[in-house]
Amino acid sequence: MADQPTSPILPWIQVGITAIVSFAGPWIAVKLSLKQFRSQKRWERQQEAYMKILESLAVVRNYYGTLFDCIVRSEVWKPDENELQKFKDARFEIEKYAAAGAYLISEASTKALQKVVGSTVYEPGDPKHEFYDNAHAQAGKAIGVLKAEEQKNVMRRSRCPRRSHDNLRLVCQVPGGVVLLKLSADDAGGIGYSPV
């Protein structure tokens, strides 16, 4: 069987495809890795925010619940310096996240926090037992909303495919046909390509 003549341009096309893949592959891998990294960091910040807020809401709810119980039982309760500072810090955290809006937490969580902040502003002349009961109830409702929203966030995250394992297919035209290459990035930032 005689050798078939080959085009003098075919080796250059193969070199060109190899060069494109060798330069494009790492660039794509870096882009995919950075996207995954940013997504993971954002998710971690959200989780941290939800945990801080839930802890702060629990402190505020407990504080107002204790004050309400004391009024109902006609007792006097004077929180010590440590309890009072813990309450003030918790209230500050809630106000901070309520003011930040839906940057890290959901819109529903933000609205729940804003209701808590609004309910913890005492108006002179209002009955104190109603004020404490309302603030305690709003903090409890907010805890429920934040737990539900955080759970949605976790569920949404678990359904999201791992971006670092996505594949990209390149179609390269060569004389006499088409070559399809599959590029894939791994967790270590490596890149691989193979004909499909």
Of the two residues 143 and 180, the one the predictor is more confident about is: 143
In a domain, 117, yes or no: yes
Q: Is 3 contained in some domain?
A: no
pLDDT at 6: 67
Number of structural domains, the chain?
Answer: 1
Q: Is residue 21 part of a domain?
A: no
Q: Does 172 map to a domain?
A: no
pLDDT digits (tens, 9 = 90+) for 59-88: 999 999 998 988 888 888 888 899 999 999
Does residue 58 belong to any structural domain of this protein?
Answer: yes
Mean pLDDT over residues 139-155, rounded? 86
Q: Does residue 92 belong to any structural domain of this protein? A: yes
Residue 23 lies in a domain: no
| Residues spanned by the domain of 70 | 37-159
Query: Average pLDDT, whole number, for the chain?
Result: 78
Average pLDDT on 99-120 reads 86
Q: How far is residue 29's CA from residue 186's CA, in Å, rounded to a whole number?
A: 8
Q: If you search the block for the tokens 């107002």, which residue do you land on?
A: 64
Q: Is the pLDDT of residue 40 over 70?
A: yes
Nearest to 193 by CA among 171, 176, 163, 174: 171
